[in-house]
Amino acid sequence: MQPGTPPTWRPAFANPRPESPLRALAVPAFLTLVLVFLTLIAWAAGALDLFWTGVFWEAFLWGGVLLYFVGLSFDRRIRGVRA
């Protein structure tokens, strides 16, 4: 008998698939829907200060999302892609 694991051996529990980083977009997408709705109401009501405040927070939110994905890509490049 040869030492080592037999060729038909498989682990009892398969390795779970890694979570997709796109799942992180669920919260910003929901917040975007709410914020766009409120911003459009402010624009329609003529409250331009509220309109530009909404635009600012929307850009701030998606800027954070962009930084998250840039950091994730940088981390994968430094550590190497884990298969």
Burial of 64 (0-12, 13-18, 19+ CB in 10 A): exposed
Is the whole-model pTM more than 0.75? Answer: no
Note the pLDDT of residue 8: 75
Q: Is the pLDDT reported for residue 6 higher than 60? A: yes
> Can you tell me the mean pLDDT for 1-18?
70
Q: How confident is the model at residue 81 (pLDDT cuts 50, 70, 90)?
A: low
Domain spans, the chain: 23-79
Per-residue pLDDT tens digits for 26-63: 888 888 888 888 888 988 998 888 888 888 888 888 99
Angle at 72 between CA 34 and CA 21, to 5 degrees: 55
Tally of helices (H runs) and strands (E runs) in the chain = 2, 0
Average pLDDT, rounded, for the chain: 80
Note the pLDDT of residue 1: 58
Q: Residue 82 corresponds to which tokens in the numbers above?
A: 């884990």
Whether the CB-CB separation of 39 and 60 falls below 8 Å is answered with no
